[in-house]
Amino acid sequence: MRLWAGFAALVLAEIGYPLTGGRARAALVVATVVLGFLLSVTHAATTRGPRAAGLLVLITTGGGFAVEAVGRATGYPFGAYDYTGALGPRLLGVPLVIPLAWTWMAWPAWVAATRLTERPAARVAVAGAGLAAWDLFLDPQMVSQRYWLWRTETPALPGVGGIPLTNYLGWLAVALALMALLRRALGDEPARPGADAPMYAMYLWTYTSSILAHAIFLDLPASAVWGAAGMGLVAIPLAVRLWRR
């Protein structure tokens, strides 16, 4: 019940995003990420145990921070970019909220993949693609608000300016690496029946709400299309599998 209450709070926070602006919107972004992080870690702890939750944080939060710090300093693997001061305190130039976002969506992507395939290698591939595809929504939305900016903006996806293709390729490489580490650390132990429903809901809500927000409220129609196609590779089969059950 606590997980569903937290999910409801997350939904309300995300609904508020297009209704705000300026500092209030930035604060809402931070609050949303913190909520998502807490939901994912709490779900991992209650369904797989405290050790699993700790490993999730170590791999995805710690790994996310490391790759962001390296990426900001060197331009690898995403391309040359930098954060503005809009998202709060920074360490090594990286807002402290950013690594939490990696964990927030890494866990539901992993849980979705466990539902879609039992083969370990395929699970890593599906989960990695499911996480990386989220950035087709995330980066255009955040760049449009100038929360971070790219020094090299081309070549880019058609209709989505300001973000180089290297960013998406870097996301895919990092996401696959994180999922491979998660699989090695956590193994293949499933949760009890029905326990993963909040993470399925989080992944599918993120998918459908992002399409709606980009297409209608945020004036980002191209990223709505790209995100719908990319994240749909995982979200749509997941929805079909759940519907059939």
pLDDT band at 194 (very low <50, low <70, confident <90, very high): confident
Residue-wise pLDDT for 61-109, tens only, equals 999 999 999 999 999 999 999 999 899 999 999 999 999 999 999 999 9
DSSP 8-state class, residue 192 = P
Q: What is the pLDDT of residue 153?
A: 82
State the average pLDDT over residues 197-202: 96
Q: What is the pLDDT of residue 154?
A: 83
Q: What is the pLDDT of residue 190?
A: 67
The average confidence (pLDDT) of the chain is 94
Structural domain boundaries of the chain?
2-244
Instruction: Give the integer Cα–Cα distance in Å for 162 and 142.
Output: 11
Instruction: Give the integer Cα–Cα distance in Å for 107 and 64.
Output: 13
At residue 10, does pLDDT exceed 80? yes
At residue 237, does pLDDT exceed 90? yes
Helix pair angle (165-186, 63-74), 10° resolution: 150
Quickly count: other Cβ atoms within 10 Å of residue 198's Cβ.
22
CB-facing half-sphere around the CA of 32: CA atoms within 13 A:
19
Residue-wise pLDDT for 33-61, tens only, equals 999 999 999 999 999 999 999 999 999 99
91, 99 contact by CB (below 8 A): no
Residue-wise pLDDT for 97-117, tens only, equals 999 999 999 999 999 999 999
State the average pLDDT over residues 117-123: 92
Residue-wise pLDDT for 128-174, tens only, equals 999 999 999 999 999 999 999 999 888 999 999 999 999 999 999 99
pLDDT band at 223 (very low <50, low <70, confident <90, very high): very high
Give pTM, 2 decimals: 0.96
At residue 191, does pLDDT exceed 70? no
The total number of residues shown for the chain amounts to 245
Which of 67-74's residues contact partners 24+ apart within 8 Å by CB, and which partners?
A: 67/174, 68/94, 68/98, 68/99, 69/93, 69/94, 71/170
